[in-house]
Chain A
């Protein structure tokens, strides 16, 4: 690295430090929190309340376009669910979505991709060099494509602190999966949640 490069880097660092000391507060960031019931199933609304497998998701949104009547959104979320008798999942995902407002009401749709860390409740075994089997880690990492759609209502739209209530149906899969020719294990989740701005 030359002296010129070092000086440039130092100046850049100083600018960042100055910016962080800027007394002007940065804009509030939306925080989304939802509770959801998860099931292993093809898309369906049945069974979510019969034997709920509970989960929680927390995330935020970034806007490619933010107009009074519509938003083009990128989300970033972390979530956790516990499916009794099968697995627990901790995931990080991002979604691209569109939200259309009619007054305070809105409808939205998203497609997403994430990484899903699983802790399996089924016992798992791996083969040894001698052909026997020994216990294997219950942890797995899987890809998690998703699609979702929801509706909601935003209170206080004209204020600086709008609060949103929403419900969303999400279908996601864990993949790779391979049993009887089925390449994915489908999951469904029904969310209810809220979104509100927080100051970082």
Chain B
């Protein structure tokens, strides 16, 4: 048998392996002139450029809103490396877990309307979870909102979950929330008795998304659209699955060699449409949302206070879990800030609100490698 003839064919197959197509976005009509006239434009732009370089991100967007000066939004670098498309201040991006703030607001609005109580039990609210989630009759709505349910967190804890995205992103993309719960949550043990510990879990918000749909009889996108996006005129914000060719693409150094892979389709498969991290938005829309939420335009004072209250448990460092109901508490150099971080394989986003001066800080980059956020302390002074 002459095998030598087969190897050129195999090499041909290997070389013929086409890379995944990256759609070319259309240019955004995004005016820069207003921000270029900002009194601190050059300072902020220089800081953002340094941040992008240090965090090895193709592109980055920064929004700063402080008393005494107009809102500033800047963007440096690229949104799409394949087509060398510049990232724009008005560019839409995946916000990751910042979505949880929106979902928590919607749930708290239901509570405000008297349709839900924070002490309602999961097994009562979503009866099909009884017998599938351990102690579902002890997990409360508050536990889900504050990550004190003890539920497992497949996106961060399950290597099988993560590898499934790598192996077959379209298949993961096609899974419904029910299928996710069935595969990765139901029948899995809790990390602790509900209410006795704090452990971040995206599964809490998968369930809250289901709950919103069940309680309102509407899909999650309609709930968020009717209650938050439309009233606040967040015209560039949505959660439903749409064509994503216009979005800032996500990148990750998968092999630790400094080279970045375009992993946008993994991020899409992981989060698009989901209540734990599916929102697409812009820096401006996020800031508008934060202003409205913390300014009392979305929830009454009593329910906003409930949302912001610290989750306190002996098992947390110094007894403070630094989380409210869908809101992270950030102890910054400038005092306490409220907001949320959002991260995925290829992106990182941060939304913070500083109650002492009503400042808003949005920072986004399209490399999911974590970053040094001291930039915030310097710029928000």
**Distance between Cα atoms of A56 and B9 in the complex (Å):** 12
* CB proximity of A84 to chain B, nearest CB, Å: 8
A186's nearest neighbour on chain B, judged by CB, is: B163
Say whether B20 contacts A122, CB under 8 Å. yes
A127 contacts partner chain B, Cβ-Cβ < 8 Å: yes
Residue numbers in A under 8 Å from B11 (CB-CB) = 90
**Does A27 make an interface contact (CB < 8 A)?**
no
Count: A-B pairs, CB below 8 Å: 116
Bitwise, B50-90 to A at CB < 8 A (1) or not (0) is 00110010100000000000000000011001100000000
Q: B284 on the interface (CB 8 Å rule)?
A: no
Closest chain A residue to B169, Cβ basis: A85
Q: How far is the CA of A121 from the CA of B77 in the complex (A)?
A: 24
Interface of A (DSSP majority class): strand
Q: Flag if B14 contacts A85 (CB, 8 Å).
A: no
B351 part of interface (Cβ distance < 8 Å)? no
Judge whether B167 and A122 touch: CB under 8 Å.
no
Cα of A178 to Cα of B253 in the assembled complex, Å: 8
Residues of A contacting B77 in the complex (Cβ-Cβ under 8 angstroms): 132
Q: Would you call B13 and A121 a contact (CB within 8 A)?
A: no
Q: Is B170 an interface residue (CB 8 A)?
A: yes
For B169, list chain A residues within 8 Å (CB).
Answer: 85
A124:B167 contact, CB within 8 angstroms = no
Contacting A at CB under 8 A, from B149-194, are 159-160, 162-164, 166-171
Q: A85-B169, A176-B256 are in contact. Are A182 and B14 (CB under 8 A)?
A: no
Interface centre among A90, A125, A179 (most CB of B within 10 A): A179
What's the nearest-Cβ distance from chain B to residue A143, in Å?
12
B163 touches A122 (CB 8 A): no
Q: Is the CB of B14 within 8 A of A140?
A: no
With most chain B CB atoms within 10 A of its CB, the pick from A85, A123, A131 is A123
Q: Which residue of A lies closest to B7 (CB)?
A: A78
Determine whether B317 belongs to the interface, using a CB cutoff of 8 Å to chain A.
Answer: no
Query: B335 on the interface (CB 8 Å rule)?
Result: no
Tell me if A179 and B254 are in contact (CB < 8 A): yes
B252 at interface, CB cutoff 8 A = yes
- Contact at A123–B167, with CB atoms within 8 Å? no
Main secondary structure of the interface of B (DSSP, over half): mixed
Complex: A47 Cα to B6 Cα, angstroms: 29
A195 vs chain B, min Cβ distance (A): 13
A80: CB under 8 A from chain B?
yes
Contact B19 A82 (CB under 8 A): no
B53 neighbours in A (Cβ, 8 Å): 131
Number of A interface residues at 8 Å Cβ cutoff, please give it.
44
From 344 to 359 in chain B, residues with beta carbon under 8 angstroms from any chain A beta carbon are 345
Chain A hits for B15, CB < 8 A: 119
Q: Closest Cβ of chain B: how far from A39's Cβ, in Å?
A: 5
Contact stretch, chosen from B140-148, B232-240, B258-266: B258-266
Would you call A178 and B254 a contact (CB within 8 A)?
A: yes
- Contact A127 to B166, CB < 8 A, known contacts A88-B17, A176-B256: no
> Provided the pairs A138-B19, A179-B345 are in contact, do residues A90 and B259 lie with their beta carbons within 8 angstroms?
no
Given contacts A39-B167, A179-B345, contact A126 B259 (CB under 8 A): yes
| Interface residue B10 (Cβ < 8 Å from any Cβ of A) | yes
Within 8 A of A (CB), among B1-27: 1, 3, 6-7, 10-11, 13-15, 17-20, 22
Assembled-state Cα–Cα distance A121/B262 (Å): 10
Task: Assess the A177–B254 pair: CB atoms within 8 A.
Answer: yes
Besides A82-B17, A177-B256, 4 more A-B contacts (Cβ < 8 Å) are A39-B168, A119-B14, A125-B261, A126-B259
Q: Can you show 23 pairs from A to B with CB atoms below 8 A apart?
A: A41-B164, A58-B6, A80-B10, A82-B17, A83-B167, A85-B20, A85-B168, A88-B13, A120-B19, A122-B19, A122-B20, A122-B254, A122-B263, A123-B22, A125-B81, A126-B259, A126-B260, A133-B78, A176-B256, A179-B252, A179-B254, A179-B256, A182-B159
Chain B interface residues (CB < 8 Å from chain A): 1, 3, 6-7, 10-11, 13-15, 17-20, 22, 52-53, 56, 58, 77-78, 81-82, 159-160, 162-164, 166-171, 251-256, 258-263, 265, 345
